[in-house]
Amino acid sequence: MSEIFVIGGGLIGMLTARELAMAGRQVTLLEQNRVGRESSWAGGGIISPLYPWRYDSSITALTSWGQQHYPELATALHRESNIDPEYTRNGLLIVEPEDSKQAIDWGKHAQQSLTNLEKAAISDCEPALTTTANQAILMPEVAQVRNPRLVKAACGTIEKQVEIRENCRVSKLLARDGRIQGIETDSGNLTAKQVIVCAGAWTGDLLKDFVTRPDIEPVLGQMILFRSQPGAISRIVLHQDRYVIPRRDGRVLVGSTLEYRGFDKTTTQVAKKALKQYALTHFPLLREAKIEHHWAGLRPGSPSGIPYIGPVPDIEGLYLNAGHFRNGVVLGPASARLMSDLVLGREPILPPAPYALDASRG
């Protein structure tokens, strides 16, 4: 019998299950569809928030821990699964930020490598970029992973340590007398003494009957993928909240929209046209490239993008690790470690108070 049930088979759930299994716990991971196929699969994979200086210090703390440990994690997942997540440090070039002084000050305080570039240096930094901008910021240490390969590697690793139940939808959390008793699934009830909800955009629905529940809602993001030549674009480029991410094999990912329309994941021609125009304006060489794919994912939106990591008040044995909004990939390793520290009673890697379910969020 499992000691701990983890609900949600995205990257957050899989990394949490991995941490617990590595500590010797018996873990069952429950996923309503296939593991890793929602927002974890759909995202861009930048190992940094898009404009990191605009976030709360609690996000910076999780980010910094994750960035420090990502090379080791990617290597371990590759070794254990034989699938390469393609961790690649090629830098983030941020064109025309409106708050460059704030960015420079933040970089010094957060001990993040950050360089202010003038017009000529922008072209030298990314020759393929066409821009009239006179100023940009380069974060040369920022890396990326390839989301589908990352989640496949995570799954390939944990399936040797964790019981994984796909196509198992959890419809209700069962609690009585102030503690978790079990979970109701479409294939029957399961008795549980410890449950961690990592259900992404679906988390709010699962906790809707509880007095204290997370403020999490689905936020749609649409993206497109070009097939180009390896090395044609060298940097991750961000401008006006949209980004271009070159993969090792020449594919170029372009995103993303922010749409509030519930759980509807329908892609639209309007979004595809806008993303394509953005890409071609900034990188004319993509005019010769084919759009290979257009898709959408549902991010777990939360106030200020601060995730909920910790116990659910008044319900012993019930925990939450969700609400990472646009930053699940970069925040995933630290969130999983912190969650496991709290469940196992270890010294936490970071002060947990900012991520508590009842913490104040801006």
- Domain span at residue 65 reads 1-88+144-216+304-362
> What's residue 15's pLDDT?
98
For position 153, which CATH number holds?
3.50.50.60
Whether pTM exceeds 0.85: yes
Per-residue pLDDT tens over the stretch 203-217: 999 998 887 889 999
> Average pLDDT of 142-160?
96
Would 336 be classed as within a structural domain? Answer: yes
> What's residue 213's pLDDT?
85
- Cα(40)–Cα(35) distance, integer angstroms: 9
Per-residue confidence at 352, pLDDT binned at 50, 70, 90?
very high
> What's residue 360's pLDDT?
80
> What's residue 362's pLDDT?
63
> What's residue 43's pLDDT?
92
Would 287 be classed as within a structural domain? Answer: no
> What's residue 1's pLDDT?
60
> What's residue 321's pLDDT?
98
> What's residue 361's pLDDT?
77
> Average pLDDT of 9-13?
97
Would 163 be classed as within a structural domain? Answer: yes
> What's residue 173's pLDDT?
95
Largest CA distance in the chain: 66
Would 74 be classed as within a structural domain? Answer: yes
In this predicted structure, the answer to whether residue 231 has a pLDDT above a threshold of 90 is: yes
> What's residue 121's pLDDT?
95
In this predicted structure, the answer to whether residue 328 has a pLDDT above a threshold of 70 is: yes
Would 225 be classed as within a structural domain? Answer: no
Total domains present in the chain: 1
> Average pLDDT of 153-162?
95
Would 194 be classed as within a structural domain? Answer: yes
CB 198 within 8 A of CB 27: no
Per-residue confidence at 187, pLDDT binned at 50, 70, 90?
confident
Would 240 be classed as within a structural domain? Answer: no
In this predicted structure, the answer to whether residue 99 has a pLDDT above a threshold of 70 is: yes
> Average pLDDT of 73-77?
98
Would 292 be classed as within a structural domain? Answer: no
